[in-house]
Amino acid sequence: MRIWLRSQRAISSLSTTIGKAASFFELNHLLQACCNTKSLNQGKQVHQQMILNGLHNHVFMYTKLIQMYADCDDLASAQTLFDKLLQPNVFAWTAIIGFYSRHGLTEECMITYRDLKSKGVTPDGYVFPKVLRACAQLSCLDWGTLVHKDVVIFGSGQNIQVCNSMIDMYSKCGDIRSARRVFEEMVERDLLSWNTIISGSVYNGLLELAVELLDYMRLEGYEPDIVTWNTVMDAYCRMGLCEEGLEMSLFPAGIWGLWQVEKKSMVMVSKSNVGVGTEFYKSAGAALLTMYAKCSRIRDAESVFNMMDKSDVVTWNALIFGFADMGLGLLALKYFTEMQRRGIRNNNITISTVLPVCDLRSGKQIHAYIMKSSFNFAGPVSNALIHMYSKNGDIGPAYLVFSNMVSRDLVSWNTMISGYGMHGLGQAALKLLQEMNHSGLCPSSVTFTSALSACSHSGLIDEGLDLFQNMTRDFSFTPRMEHYSCVVDMLARAGRLEDAYNFINRMPIDPDKHIWGALLAACQEHQNVSIGKLAAEELICLEPNHAGHYVTLSNMYARAGKWDDAVRVRKLMEGQGSVKPSGHSLIGG
């Protein structure tokens, strides 16, 4: 805030400075002020003054101009100046890369970084975080790994900001092991380092590790902030331990005590009598509200909401997100409608949060509202529209939104490919995957899962098997459990049960219950008792107390007229202490 105020004061004195012969240092100071406040018009005036003073060809000032135009989002002017430089320095390159990174133009960011290296310019600690952010947004581990090598080669391996960016990149690309290695090898860490590795652990489903890291963080003397608590609360809630999250001091002592006071204040006279509570809800209200919503404690969530500042869009976003995340779509829509009624101006987060829970009617209304309001069709909003139309069975408008996007990120492609898969349009999904490859964007784990699932639902067996092979051969991608599961489901749906069973036996990782479950369900449908028996045995080994596996196998035996085997399975289930679900016959059809 102080920097912004100083910059504003500098800009307010611009007319005085322009009226006289400005010095090198004054113009540099004014350009920086324009960068800080994104004051493009004033920046152009400074540019004119530089020309008058003959300073516009000075390399330092020329580079500063490029930075000013890029920071003020005038890429055309920045690029024009950049192209006139015979030998652009790293600062000029950083300005252009920073623009692309800031606006989510990930491909352009990576291409510009490649050009920087090809010109023999040495990237530094300001370039790497921007490029690593692009790798994270693309979920492209291959590019991220190459940038990591450059980090080491060019001597930025111990730069805290660079290391934090590498942790984030590896986490979002699904390589939490490499993220932890970077974290553990850091000579010096800051609060952001801890928050990033904890967040990365939650992102990759390592919830217990996230909680453990909180303990280590505090042992090393770092005080968690609201971001830390929010992330760890999310981990507890995902583990189904919402109450334990509070009881086990998820809040630092001071905030915990304040929260207890605030709890009592809710049942007291009025908000005006609780001055201390106001400060609490400014900092921790959104996190607490989200946690209550995740635990389906609707009354508590609404009580927290009532204590928060309702003129702040963040307050409404937190409540809408909490309800939407729990699948409570009607409540999310109710508060979104109330938000509009009160005249609270929503933002991209509001729209992209509420769209996934909309039915087709309400989703179309929000789409019309976006068009009417000249709303910014940023990536998340367009992606949410694609998802809304796809899940509600209207694939045409989904593709129309996709095709009209100025810039598509990885989520855009994945959502559209998944949408085609939902509608059994496997050929369209594969064609889109091909277009994605030609665009230079690297497919992620989700991309392959969506495409394989589309092949499965469309009966494109040969195409799906080719795609699975190409994952390893063409993309050097190591298949995960979900990809093996898609192939098994694809073969099993087509009745190729022996091929599915042999494929499972060749897997380099131990198949999980979902894989054996898909095979067993297909065996039941096709009445293949021999392979069904093998699948059921594997499931029973994995989950010996799950009655459903015994019931499915017993029913298969019964339909095949193998009554003795059906009775034997029933007795085996009773011996394990499994309870037969009501409504099922162990020996009937």
Residue 4 CA to residue 494 CA, distance in Å, equals: 64
Residue 527 CA to residue 584 CA, distance in Å, equals: 18
| pTM more than 0.75 | no
Q: What is the pLDDT confidence band of residue 281, given thresholds at 50, 70 and 90?
A: low
Q: Give residue-wise pLDDT tens across range 158-174.
A: 899 999 999 999 998 88
E strand map for 349-482? none
Tokens of 188: 């010096």
The contacts of residue 349 (CB under 8 Å, 6+ apart) are 313, 317, 321, 380
Question: What mean pLDDT is predicted for residues 241-253?
Answer: 55
Q: Does the structure show a pLDDT above 80 at 573?
A: no
Work out the angle at residue 496's Cα, subtended by the Cα atoms of residues 493 and 498, and round it to the nearest 5 degrees. Answer: 130
Residue 434 CA to residue 114 CA, distance in Å, equals: 23
The contacts of residue 575 (CB under 8 Å, 6+ apart) are none
Per-residue pLDDT, 23: 64
Q: What is the pLDDT confidence band of residue 272, given thresholds at 50, 70 and 90?
A: very low
Q: What is the pLDDT confidence band of residue 268, given thresholds at 50, 70 and 90?
A: very low
Q: Give residue-wise pLDDT tens across range 474-517.
A: 887 888 889 999 999 999 989 999 999 999 999 998 998 889 98
List Cα–Cα distances, 386 to 28, 398, 402, 414, 444, in angstroms. 46, 4, 7, 10, 19
Tokens of 489: 């489901």
As a whole number of Å, the end-to-end CA separation of the chain is 73
Tokens 């509001």 belong to: 350
Tokens of 62: 């020329």
Question: What mean pLDDT is predicted for residues 230-251?
Answer: 67
Side chain identity at residue 27, one-letter code? L
Domain coordinates of the chain in residue numbers? Answer: 189-250, 252-346
Q: Are 441 and 410 in contact (CB under 8 A)?
A: yes
Q: Side-chain half-sphere of 5: how many Cα atoms within 13 Å?
A: 2
Q: Does the structure show a pLDDT above 50 at 269?
A: no
Name which of 413, 453, 452, 455 is nearest 435 in CA terms.
413
Per-residue pLDDT, 513: 87
Residue ranges of alpha helices (H) inside 155-272 are 160-172, 176-185, 191-203, 207-219, 226-238, 242-247, 253-266
Residue 229 CA to residue 218 CA, distance in Å, equals: 12
Q: Which of 116-120, 355-359, 390-394, 524-528 has the lowest mean pLDDT?
A: 524-528
The contacts of residue 75 (CB under 8 Å, 6+ apart) are 69, 96, 99
3-class secondary-structure state, position 353: helix
Tokens of 346: 């929503």
Q: Are 504 and 479 in contact (CB under 8 A)?
A: no
3-class secondary-structure state, position 495: coil
Residue 373 CA to residue 215 CA, distance in Å, equals: 47
Tokens of 92: 């000029």
Residue 414 CA to residue 280 CA, distance in Å, equals: 39
Per-residue pLDDT, 228: 84
DSSP of 381-413, one letter per residue? HHHHHHHHHHHTT-HHHHHHHHHT-SS--HHHH
Residue 126 CA to residue 108 CA, distance in Å, equals: 17
Per-residue pLDDT, 276: 47
